[in-house]
Structure 1
């Protein structure tokens, strides 16, 4: 008899972590593998941020902090929302957790009852459905097709809502798609939500500073202020400041929800480590020039990958509008045969072939709820991306044509 909780049976490990682990295992055998599975900036954390954590540790800021976050950091987050997003929140409207993922987990833990539904527009971040299932909820995954820029539209949202709908998740810019929403597009979604007052909105805005081609970010909270009482704005320092490993996320939302989330946190991890919060404070209040520097590099890398993929027959990629991923269509490879005689039937077969033959790790689109695609991270150097695209091109060229039915 298994001693594991039955709720775990439906929950899958992180697909992006699995791809990275497979790459590491192959690399351990001496193979030169390019790991494009995980999405994290390859830049070092800016020195003034690391130094702030060092000073805090030396000053004795190593004890428990308030479960919701230090007053100084919550004040800085409130000022960030006001300064950058036009949102009027005070420090009491803010919670801090160990990364944006824990913010989301805490929110679901605090609100989901068995059978409650969460609408996760596909393609979605791999952890969304797994967290929903782990906490007794039911993922509802309407598809947002490529020719709409992978954006959720009112005609797709409306029929997905039922009396059991508890949450709608939005992620913008999107992981894996890079989709960005305009004010008008968000307003149109808000009009649908206004007809369904039971639906809470979780707007995951962790990639807000990574926008391309001169686009400007619009927070869902700014576009639809009338929904403020049922809206959770999620963000963090991981992506904008190259701080993925520091694990500091934050959110703004209604008092009752934040109180419940704080209770969850106080009875699980207690709080975020003091030096980590000091680092996040320095990120939000210190020099911001790193944001533009990183964004310029990410756009250059995006352009490099888009141009490279365009030269590979069988693959498609519209220029991502933000974030640092390429969600590459591979329908043109399905049905083709590898030099080893294996037919590629799914995007998982494609990524397995790329790993074993091209030695490039990618994540299959099935993990994001929309196939046939695969995701690569573009948050690495120009040289590595150039080599990865060249390897993918050679591997694709080695495939035999699909046989006629």
Structure 2
């Protein structure tokens, strides 16, 4: 699968904000870019056209889930995952390493792979690096992730080192298969700076077409997440895309783009939307709150999404108070468009040479759900090195 990456602006250092473009056989992805998560080949409750209308140019599916149900060979026989789900643009697939270690009942982990029982029916499986590549190749995705060993953020360093070394060996086996999809490498290492740095350097030497940063947003603090992201980025090739896995809070995206991350994915925008929690530049709001009961204006007058263009906050409040399914859809559309607009605004700021000013203003205004986290994030941003 042909894959190319170019820088359009920024990137004055190994960990500086940058705007670029990822070119695939199925289209171009302008970065920074957010990938809506279609775990089971669907972004929950939305059609592919609705997802594309939010500004998304690339989507994500999960190989672990599709391997278990309906099966990668079935999807292959039906023309591949693009045709299966009706998405014409590029698709990145996660191998499912995180899901194997978090959802399944683990039986054994060794250098050969992972033995587990399915969280669906208890059936036993032996998931190897080779099988992960086979599944993603059968799906016909544009970008694939190798099997990696993911541990919680508070795991002691010796165990993190074992997992990082195993992830390296698994990547070597995966890369040796020369799969059709572009195979990214995944940087692990927990919250140990030296381990992260070593792992990133080892993978950089293997000249992958792109690099993912994994094992974050799994229980570590925000400060640790931001620090490990920057540590990894400083060691990765500047001419290859960087992808921060599983991170999707607005404030986290701003910090990650500042460290030169290009790609993101997360279930957060749609998962929060289904609970009635909607993004604004002031932070999340609960649309079920009584203050929106008679609000005749859109939730966010500055938002150009289909929801804000056509419906009042009072109507959304009504839908959620009555558990109407349309509410989940409209909220998901808004949250996805909000994140896409944020990426567009960051790209414009980078190209205009004023990303720092944009980030300062955004982080001063945006209030995360946890006020302590907000204070920590602002302090870290204000004291960060500017190189």
Q: Based on CA coordinates, which of the two structures has the bigger radius of gyration?
A: 1
Task: Provide TM-score, normalisation by structure 1.
Answer: 0.30
Task: Provide TM-score, normalisation by structure 2.
Answer: 0.31
Per chain length, whose mean CA-contact separation is higher, i.e. which structure has more relative contact order (CA < 8 Å, sep 6+)?
A: 1
**Structure 1 or 2: more strand by fraction:** 2
